[in-house]
Amino acid sequence: MKKLIIPFCILFCFDAFGAGFLKAESFPKGFQDLSFVQKVQVLKSGYEDWESEYDASGVCIKNCAYKGVTLQEDLDRMNAQTGRAIQKFYSLGYPVGQNTNLSQQVDKSDYINTMQTYYAGECSPRNPYIKPGQTEPFGYPLIEKAKITSPYGYRKHPISGNNSLHKGVDLSAKEGTNVFAPASAIVKKVWSDSDCGNGLVLQHSNGFETLYCHLSGVTVKEGDNVQAGCLIAKTGNTGKSTGPHLHYAIKDNGEYIDPTRTLR
Ligand SMILES: [Zn+2]
How far away, in angstroms, is 67 Cα from ligand 1 center?
Answer: 43
- pLDDT at position 197 is 96
How far away, in angstroms, is 248 Cα from ligand 1 center?
Answer: 7
| Residue type (1 letter), 69 | V
pLDDT per residue as tens, the chain (264 positions):
233 333 333 222 332 333 333 222 223 334 555 555 555 555 543 343 344 566 666 666 665 555 555 656 655 665 565 555 555 544 544 433 333 344 344 444 555 455 545 555 567 777 767 777 788 898 889 988 889 999 998 877 777 777 888 999 999 999 999 999 999 999 999 999 999 999 999 999 999 999 999 999 999 999 999 998 889 999 999 999 989 999 999 999 999 999 987 886
Of all residues in the chain, what percent are helix, strand and coil, respectively (each to 5)? 25, 35, 45
Taking the domains of the chain in order of start, what are their residue ranges? 2-119, 148-261
How far away, in angstroms, is 168 Cα from ligand 1 center?
Answer: 6
Residue 128's nearest CA partner among 88, 95, 84 is 84
How far away, in angstroms, is 171 Cα from ligand 1 center?
Answer: 8
How far away, in angstroms, is 33 Cα from ligand 1 center?
Answer: 48
How far away, in angstroms, is 141 Cα from ligand 1 center?
Answer: 15
| Residue type (1 letter), 93 | G
Are 30 and 6 in contact by the 8 Å Cβ rule? The answer is yes
How far away, in angstroms, is 108 Cα from ligand 1 center?
Answer: 42
Tell which CATH architecture fits domain 148-261. Distorted Sandwich (2.70)
How far away, in angstroms, is 219 Cα from ligand 1 center?
Answer: 21
- Entry pTM: 0.57
Residue 211's nearest CA partner among 127, 141, 129 is 141
DSSP assigned state of 172: E
Are 132 and 79 in contact by the 8 Å Cβ rule? The answer is no
Residues ≥6 apart with Cβ < 8 Å to 23: none
